[in-house]
A and B are shown apart, each in its own frame.
Chain A
């Protein structure tokens, strides 16, 4: 995976962030989701590296990045704190302006990054999410059943942690294999990386904290922004077989939070970059190309 890329670790001041960097051209930061790692980009990163300097990083709490101690208000796993890591990481590579392509939890971090560092994020592509606050506000019974983990993982520590820890592989495979594609989107190499990370009880705890923050402090931060809309162009892509398509009007919700939104549903489930890598390469190359 990631041939020609170089691994590095960046000290953000609050966390040690692991990433890989490769390619040439304008900088493009790629952020993964739950319960994955930067490895989810391995099918698209080498091709994107022909046109961009690609940086794929593990979010704090995930993969090979460090897992800072949490606090009772979940601030260390707020999207604000996670976004600050990434601004610092890109600055450390010499990039004060960059594009971001992100999936799932990483896309929530990317959304916050584009708000808090609006002068740095030039374009934002989000895969298979609608904005957090708007998703909670529009939660129905059907969505709560499809995304049951949103409501399970936020239960008070250490309850969900203790239930996942005894058999993290079974949980991971059920959670990620429940889409129409089953476990077929995941190569053995990538899956090894995900499972190795997820077997660490600290990853399980940190990822629960990611969700607890989303249900509390992240929404507080969103509310402080009021009706603020991102100025940078936003590309929203989602899977036609996933929960976003089934339960939300994705583009309408993004248009509540951004001025310039384009996007569409693609013929896939949740794991777009692993189910439709060629399509994601095409979409990213087109969207992030110089205007």
Chain B
């Protein structure tokens, strides 16, 4: 749980999603990444909640949301489908639109939501990614070593599921630790860490999380490439925050990649590993409070 927040279950297209809600003011959707859930926002959500109604779902396949079986085309875990989940949540809660802030996989859902449903996303905040199609296009041996999980998790089921499932806690601990600046689990609160470990021990969620990456390597990527070819743009204001010790910082010029998708872009960086909301919560709050309140 996040202090001061309440939990609701909302069913969208037969998939029941867990949503934590708190605060007061215009709606702000916060979307977590891999291998996490809503708990990654626990340190910053109370700050955002002073001026916004924060809506914090667990993506399908993660946390306390359902984790349906994937389909051969990986449409089930496409970012298009996950974005529709979030639209369904906004519909159920009676919001016409919202500001959306995403980290990691959640940021991929957030920008897909801005592309597919431009009228529903007023402002878009992105933490620690470049778009899926651009990331794959820039692949090299160096990147393949650092982001090995993109090719590993995208292997056909059930190999990654079985390998992770043999010792899920060791896998989760290693993954989290290796992406922090300090190479330490100490940055994660005990509650958050326990929730990340718990979801990885459930075979259905383990499958869902792998399927998220299978979709990234196929369905999501193809959609990005088609949008790029068609010259489609994100029309709302975009704020991009990257961590100095994270993935985008190692991929050339991430701000230039985002500028090719969004004319109204501002970029900031902060001292952190990949998990900026947990490693440097004040930087995340400062960066996006300024952006969403402007």
Residues on A lying within 8 angstroms of B by beta carbon are 136-137, 139-141, 144-145, 148, 150-152, 154-156, 159, 162-167, 170-171, 174, 215
Give the residues in chain A near B144, CB-CB below 8 Å: 139, 141, 144, 150-151
- Select one of A140, A151, A154, A162 contacting B170, CB under 8 A: A162
Q: A141-B137, A144-B139 are in contact. Are A163 and B145 (CB under 8 A)?
A: no
Contacts of B294 in A (CB 8 A): none
CB-CB under 8 A from A148, the residues of chain B are 148, 151-152, 154-155
CB distance from A212 to the nearest CB of B (A): 10
The answer to whether the Cβ of B119 comes within 8 Å of any Cβ in the partner chain is no
* Chain B: CB-nearest residue to A145: B151
16 contacts between A and B (CB under 8 A): A136-B141, A137-B141, A141-B144, A144-B151, A151-B144, A152-B151, A152-B152, A154-B145, A155-B148, A156-B178, A159-B174, A162-B167, A162-B170, A163-B163, A165-B166, A166-B166
List the A residue with the shortest CB-CB distance to B175: A159
Q: Chain B binding site: helix, strand, loop or mixed by DSSP?
A: helix
A140 with B139, Cβ < 8 A, contacts A166-B166, A167-B166, A171-B159 known: yes
Interface string of B171-186 (1 = CB under 8 A from A): 1001000100000000
A155 surroundings in chain B (CB, below 8 A): 148
Bound CA–CA A163/B139 (angstroms): 25
**CB under 8 Å from chain A, chain B span 129-144:** 136-137, 139-141, 144
Flag if A163 contacts B166 (CB, 8 Å).
Answer: yes
Whether B270 sits at the interface, judged by CB under 8 Å, is no
Q: Which of A139, A154, A165, A170 contacts B140 (CB 8 A)?
A: A139
Interface flag for B44 (CB, 8 Å): no
**B184: shortest Cβ distance to chain A, in Å?**
14
Complex Cα spacing A145 to B217, Å? 9
CB distance from A167 to the nearest CB of B (A): 6
| Chain A residues whose CB sits within 8 angstroms of the CB of B148 once the complex forms | 148, 151-152, 154-155
> How near does chain A come to B135, taking the closest CB pair, in angstroms?
9
Q: Is the CB of B155 within 8 A of A163?
A: no
User: Given contacts A163-B167, A167-B166, A174-B159, could you give 15 more A-B pairs where the C-beta distance is less than 8 Å?
Assistant: A136-B141, A141-B136, A141-B139, A144-B141, A150-B144, A151-B151, A152-B151, A162-B167, A162-B170, A163-B164, A163-B166, A163-B171, A165-B166, A166-B163, A170-B162
**How many residues of chain B get a CB closer than 8 Å to chain A's CBs?**
23
Report the bound CA distance from A150 to B164 in whole Å: 18
* Residues of B in contact with A (beta carbons under 8 Å apart): 136-137, 139-141, 144-145, 148, 151-152, 154-155, 159, 162-164, 166-167, 170-171, 174, 178, 217
Complex: A148 Cα to B149 Cα, angstroms = 9
How distant is the Cα of A137 from the Cα of B140 in the complex, in angstroms?
8
Of B159, B163, B170, most buried by chain A (CB within 10 Å of CB) is B163
Chain B residues with Cβ below 8 Å from A166 are 163, 166-167
Question: Nearest residue in A to B217 (C-beta to C-beta)?
Answer: A145
Assess the B163–A164 pair: CB atoms within 8 A: yes
Tell me the minimal C-beta distance from B123 to chain A in angstroms: 31
Q: Name the CB-closest residue of B to A146.
A: B151
- What residue of chain A has the Cβ atom nearest to residue B163's Cβ? A163
- Chain B residue at minimum C-beta to C-beta distance from A174: B159
> Which A residues lie within 8 Å of B152 (CB)?
148, 151-152
CB-CB nearest 9 A-B residue pairs:
A141-B139, A166-B166, A148-B151, A139-B141, A144-B144, A151-B148, A136-B141, A163-B163, A151-B144
Tell me, rounded to whole Å, the shortest Cβ–Cβ distance linking B144 to chain A: 4
Q: Nearest B residue to A136 by beta-carbon distance?
A: B141
Q: Which residues of A contact B140 (CB under 8 A)?
A: 139
CB proximity of B148 to chain A, nearest CB, Å: 4
B154 partner residues in chain A, CB cutoff 8 A: 145, 148
Q: B18 → chain A, closest Cβ, in Å?
A: 29
Max chain A Cβ within 10 angstroms of own Cβ: one of B136, B148, B167: B148
Q: How far is the CA of A136 from the CA of B137 in the complex (A)?
A: 16
Closest to A155 in B: B148
User: Roughly how many angstroms separate A260 CA and B163 CA in the complex, as a whole number?
Assistant: 43
CA distance A170 to B156 in the complex (A): 13
Contact B139–A139 (Cβ < 8 Å)? yes
Max count, chain B CB within 10 A of own CB: residue among A162, A163, A171:
A163
Asked if residues B162 and A167 are in contact (CB atoms below 8 Å), the reply is: yes
> Which of B137, B166, B171, B178 neighbours the largest number of chain A CB atoms within 10 Å of its CB?
B166
